[in-house]
Amino acid sequence: MSMMKKEIVVIGGSAAGLTAAITAHRQYPDRSILLVRKEEQVVIPCGIPYIYGTVGSPKKNLIPDAPLEANGIALTVGEVVGIDTAGSKLELDNGDEIGYERLIVATGSLPAMPPIPGFDKGDIWGIYKEVPLLTELQTRLQSVNKLVIVGGGFIGIEFADECKKAGIEEVTVVEFLPHCLMLAFDEEFAVEAEKRLQDRGIRLKTGVKVARFEGETHVERVVLETGETIEADLVIMGIGAVANVKVAKESGLKLGATGAIAVDRTMKTSVPNIFACGDCAEKISFFGGVPSPLKLASIAASEARIAGANLYGIRRENIGTIGVWSTAIGEFALACGGLTESMAKKAGYDYVAGTAMGPNRHPGCMPDAENITIKLLFERRTGVLLGGQLMGSKSVGELVNVISACIQKRMTFDDIATFQIGTHPALTSSPIAYQLVNAAEMAFMKAAK
């Protein structure tokens, strides 16, 4: 057993932990910093589905250690099994101890595994962010002909598309909501996404739950609540994630409403000198301040830049989680920032929506021209932007970030209708038919009635 002490210690080496450590170095360059993680190598979390098709190997989907070295951040590989908050030290699984002045907990999340009868049979896989397990799954998938994916959210459809691309004959997605991606997009966007998936040979079973998994020692069949049976060589569970808070909870850190570590706007926990960020930290929505279940690497990095800056004095505060995401099915992309219509209704907003569609080049006969559809939601009384959804060409993956900026700055119908844009025939939509601007005008016309 040995004892080491650093001024700043970060637990976790993924999007939140690495970003928090780098931020701490930038903000406090004279402080000693140590990052502790249990993995020898860290996978890029959002890239995991692409291991099985486009990228080809977990080894090609790694977060490099070079940023640690470049920023003078020390690294210890080991699992933290306890936090002594009174003594300001960590206990590792090998018995070593690490002392700290300031601690950032960025332990991430684990895949949700609901207790569906038979879920503990062989070849039912949760997607853990660990290279050995992901490598084992890749080897196993090479002899799979019939794959069933439970969950039609981002993880589910991206795995389905990549595994189909890799040559698996039958790929079926089971989703209990009426449409895939329905938690993330309004119905017209989800329906279009489903068409693209089906065009690529993926079977969809929507509006139905899994009743049980059947088989001897390994899964052989997935039985739906309708009684329908789907043969399966392997099942991937893609139904979301739960905060990894076991050590934090056992060490006395308070948890929030969604079961993640409670934090304030500066990312402080209930214990002095301990901060938390990323999937393990509680989220509060930008819209109304209610608890938010969102877990995204982009949110984790943003929170990490707040936590890392506030260690020795408050320099940044969290405005709340807006939620910005995107996905792609082949060349077709979808993106969303802020609230969808179903989210706005649930939150109690009186809103108006405006939609505009048109080519992303001008004229439309230009090479690479594809249609983009943008739908914007505004609060009716104030005209403030609440959210935006986009589908079409891959450029929507960046355009949604513009929408997020507009939401953060509480821009209105008029602000966006008079938005000063740059356009070019080979790069963007026409200034006359610019979808972002025209969607705002459409919504204004509805609100003015």
For residue range 121-179, list pLDDT tens digits in order: 999 999 999 999 999 999 999 999 999 999 999 999 999 999 999 999 999 999 999 99
Q: Say if residue 36 is in the same domain as residue 178.
A: no
Residue 449 has pLDDT above 90, yes or no: no
- Mean pLDDT (the chain, rounded): 96
Q: Say if residue 208 is in the same domain as residue 291.
A: no
DSSP annotation string for 65-126: SHHHHHTT-EEEE--EEEEETTTTEEEETTS-EEEEEEEEE---EEE-----TTTTSBTEEE
Could you list the residue range(s) of the whole structural domain that residue 281 is in?
3-110+242-307
DSSP annotation string for 58-69: GGGSEE-SHHHH
Q: Say if residue 9 is in the same domain as residue 106.
A: yes
Instruction: Cite the DSSP H helix spans in 142-224.
Output: 154-165, 187-199
Q: In this structure, is residue 331 part of a structural domain?
A: yes
Q: Say if residue 64 is in the same domain as residue 99.
A: yes
Write down which residue in 190, 210, 239 finishes a domain.
239
Report residue 114's pLDDT band, with 50, 70 and 90 as the boundaries.
Answer: confident
Q: Say if residue 432 is in the same domain as residue 343.
A: yes
Report residue 303's pLDDT band, with 50, 70 and 90 as the boundaries.
Answer: very high
Write down which residue in 220, 239, 258 finishes a domain.
239
Q: What is the mean pLDDT of residues 198-213?
A: 98
What is the per-residue pLDDT across 220-236, written as a single tens digit (0 to 9) for each? 999 999 999 999 999 99
Q: Say what the pLDDT of residue 44 is.
A: 93
Residue 2 has pLDDT above 90, yes or no: no
Q: Say if residue 249 is in the same domain as residue 104.
A: yes
Q: In this structure, is residue 58 part of a structural domain?
A: yes
Q: Say if residue 334 is in the same domain as residue 295.
A: no
Q: In this structure, is residue 137 part of a structural domain?
A: yes
Q: Say if residue 380 is in the same domain as residue 356.
A: yes
3-class SS of residue 49: helix
Q: Say if residue 64 is in the same domain as residue 91.
A: yes
For 319, half-sphere exposure in the C-beta direction (CA atoms, 13 angstrom radius) is 11
Residue 3 has pLDDT above 90, yes or no: no
Write down which residue in 307, 333, 355 finishes a domain.
307
What is the per-residue pLDDT across 34-90, written as a single tens digit (0 to 9) for each? 999 999 999 999 999 999 999 989 999 999 999 999 999 999 999 999 999 999 999
Q: Say if residue 206 is in the same domain as residue 260.
A: no
Q: Domain containing 148 — which CATH number?
A: 3.50.50.60
Q: Say if residue 234 is in the same domain as residue 132.
A: yes
Q: Say if residue 343 is in the same domain as residue 419.
A: yes
Count of structural domains within the chain: 3
